[in-house]
Chains A and B, each alone.
Chain A
């Protein structure tokens, strides 16, 4: 088996490397990918057409917003999938909250430090979501940080306390609401007469001109993404660390 694996790997690797003979050099600014009209359009026209200086966020949430919607769906599927695979809903361990009285979490020092740090982490995460237009950031990045703050709370204070804030039902609702915001915003554009996810259609209900409507819509859509990512990050942690029993955490 190992010999077969080695041969397969060497063949595939050689095939991949043989193609590099006519690739453009690294860091070449005139390579077809960098010179193409698509990339030039993104770089030159983004700020004029959408008033968002961060080109990556603009491409993610506006030009290729359809892709980002499916990316959010992928993370949603991972969350539901883990619950569907691991959770046992009618066995003896099926109640979703088991009060473990000795679940002290991480100990006194961890609890104290976390209660000091957590608010700052969460505010920074919200800042990253909101400021994605001007600095690296956006829905995914901020959502992961926010989810990580809840995981930190679960580690420090014990999983049962964290589940009081963020029960399983609530995580599922948050996750579904996040995608609802994204898809619903696109359907709103549809109802106003233009194509799906064409934010210019919402010019009449959002402040500013049509270009600012795009900027605002990108923010709304990123908020939806952040909801979903936060909820699913916490749900993945709580299911994977307890093997689906949601009893005592790590």
Chain B
């Protein structure tokens, strides 16, 4: 039975989405219960998958779709491959989805107004797509799944107000360019190798010694460009701030922690698995230096742009841009601790962003205003929410024992070990800027006067919430916040164990 776990993780939310559509609009509560159950079951199965992977001999689960055996040493069908890295990311994805579904219960009716079954169906299909991306071993299947996640995101964002529709259109254009660049890269690889299975591509590239061919280099560049567009790596980040800030608050909390991090995972997999460490980091190619300096620029620009903003959601989205810079820079430094640090940062950034986005959405909901002066005096009126927000903020700044401290520590030591002082300094600079941003907010929240009047300026949460009395939100929204902040601290405490697993898995991948 355990060998079927990878497929079951995908199938349960897929069935959940179909059942939700069949239930229809008359039964919104049952739609919520169905998605809750399906995502809960899926995250339970992914937890058991982690255990199954760790207890196996080779620490990898392989699953052939359709059961076709290989012919002449080449895979004929599509294969799934789950090692500890994939299992961790899948668990993170399904767990964030599950917790978010709890969070969405109260606001679903008000925000999407009668389209509840479609909302939950799209959410579950998004989770299916993300899990599929992480587990697949076939390059073209990866493209189809990337498009599934993109299409659900476009639709989910466009369900909001008119600014959301415009940002979603922008996202459509840039996202299609990114996915198509990835497809071209895969096409170039296919022309030269004749197969689409990721392991077999690596095998053929090595057998025929195609490493120096111009087409392979161009394929690598285009796959990277495509994946960078989808993860909002500066300067291809133009779609992210508007799309995530103006999205309806529930969809923002689903997408912000997950989409970009899964794309970073794809980038690391393509680099280490398809092309291999010798190809990517060899000194003949000058791109290593260029990319690390671009990531330095991303970190600095993201942090400064966040500093300049006054809308809390925009601040958080620019911080996401900076965090993507950390991860790209870390993985391009050199093999070893940089890659592992970037991977650990995927998990920790998912937790931090999740925590901060939920807290920001709750505050915007209650105060009715999304600018920073909404935070005035909140420590007194909404202490529980502010505690959750504080945990996330401390993790962004990088204070122990949160996971943000440990991931920064790994990345900075990787930078120093590789001799790249620019990267290490950029990380420290970013921590300082984050400290400035968040301590300004804390100062307002502690010392400021409570703002009780809802002003009419560009609220991100534009549906009029008549209840603007500033008090705590119901438990169904606070519990997810506490789970998120708890996981931020838990990931920090468990960092040693996780880091060792990640390093072993990366070594296995590279052989």
Partner-B contacts on A (CB < 8 A): 15-16, 18-24, 31-39, 41-42, 45, 62-67, 70-71, 73-74, 76-78, 80-85, 87, 89-90, 94, 169, 172-173, 175-176, 179-180, 183, 187, 190, 194-200
CB distance from A28 to the nearest CB of B (A): 10
> Which residues of chain A are within 8 angstroms of B71 by Cβ–Cβ distance?
37-38, 41, 45
B190 and A33 within 8 A (CB): yes
- Give Cα A94–Cα B78 distance, bound, in whole angstroms: 44
> Which residues of chain B are within 8 angstroms of A81 by Cβ–Cβ distance?
118, 122, 151-152, 154-155, 158
Mask, B134-165, CB within 8 Å of A = 1, is: 00001011001101100110111011000001
CB distance from B169 to the nearest CB of A (A): 11
> Which residues of chain A are within 8 angstroms of B147 by Cβ–Cβ distance?
74
A37 and B66 within 8 A (CB): no
Chain B residues bordering chain A, tally (CB within 8 A) = 69
CB distance from A182 to the nearest CB of B (A): 10
Known: A67-B78, A67-B144, A78-B151. A173 touches B121 (CB 8 A): no
> Which residues of chain A are within 8 angstroms of B184 by Cβ–Cβ distance?
16
Which of A183, A187, A194, A197 gathers most chain B CB within 10 Å?
A: A197
Interface of B is mostly: helix
CB distance from B438 to the nearest CB of A (A): 35
B65 and A73 within 8 A (CB): no
Known: A64-B78, A84-B115; 12 extra A-B contacts, CB below 8 A, are: A15-B221, A20-B215, A23-B215, A38-B75, A38-B195, A42-B76, A78-B151, A81-B151, A84-B122, A94-B114, A190-B7, A200-B67
CB of B63 closer than 8 Å to a CB of A: yes
B118 and A21 within 8 A (CB): no
B118 and A63 within 8 A (CB): no
CB of B18 closer than 8 Å to a CB of A: yes
CB distance from A222 to the nearest CB of B (A): 15
B66 touches which of A169, A173, A197 (Cβ 8 Å) = A197
> Which residues of chain A are within 8 angstroms of B151 by Cβ–Cβ distance?
74, 77-78, 81
B215 and A19 within 8 A (CB): yes
A70 and B192 within 8 A (CB): no
Could you jot down 14 A-B contacts, CB within 8 Å? A16-B218, A19-B188, A19-B218, A23-B191, A32-B191, A32-B204, A36-B193, A41-B72, A62-B66, A64-B78, A66-B141, A74-B144, A183-B15, A196-B66
Interface of A is mostly: helix
CB of B219 closer than 8 Å to a CB of A: yes
A39 and B194 within 8 A (CB): yes
CB of B68 closer than 8 Å to a CB of A: yes
Partner-A contacts on B (CB < 8 A): 4, 7, 11, 14-15, 18, 21-22, 24-25, 63-68, 71-78, 112-115, 118-119, 121-122, 125, 128, 132, 138, 140-141, 144-145, 147-148, 151-152, 154-156, 158-159, 165, 184, 188, 190-196, 204, 208, 213-215, 217-219, 221-222
Q: Which 5 A-B pairs have the closest CB atoms?
A: A36-B194, A81-B155, A89-B114, A198-B67, A37-B72
A180 and B77 within 8 A (CB): no
CB distance from A77 to the nearest CB of B (A): 5
B132 and A70 within 8 A (CB): yes
Residue of A nearest to B21 (CB): A176
Residue of A nearest to B15 (CB): A183
CB distance from A183 to the nearest CB of B (A): 6
B7 and A90 within 8 A (CB): no
Residue of A nearest to B154 (CB): A81
B191 touches which of A15, A24, A83 (Cβ 8 Å) = A24
- Give Cα A145–Cα B217 distance, bound, in whole angstroms: 42
CB distance from B164 to the nearest CB of A (A): 10
Known: A176-B21, A196-B7, A200-B67. A83 touches B144 (CB 8 A): no
B155 and A195 within 8 A (CB): no
A38 touches which of B76, B125, B148, B208 (Cβ 8 Å) = B76
> Which residues of chain A are within 8 angstroms of B156 by Cβ–Cβ distance?
84
> Which residues of chain B are within 8 angstroms of A84 by Cβ–Cβ distance?
112, 115, 118-119, 122, 155-156, 158-159
CB distance from A89 to the nearest CB of B (A): 3
CB distance from B403 to the nearest CB of A (A): 33
> Which residues of chain A are within 8 angstroms of B24 by Cβ–Cβ distance?
169, 172
B74 and A176 within 8 A (CB): no
B66 and A18 within 8 A (CB): no
B67 and A194 within 8 A (CB): yes
A195 and B113 within 8 A (CB): no
B155 and A85 within 8 A (CB): yes
- Give Cα A128–Cα B151 distance, bound, in whole angstroms: 29
B18 and A195 within 8 A (CB): no
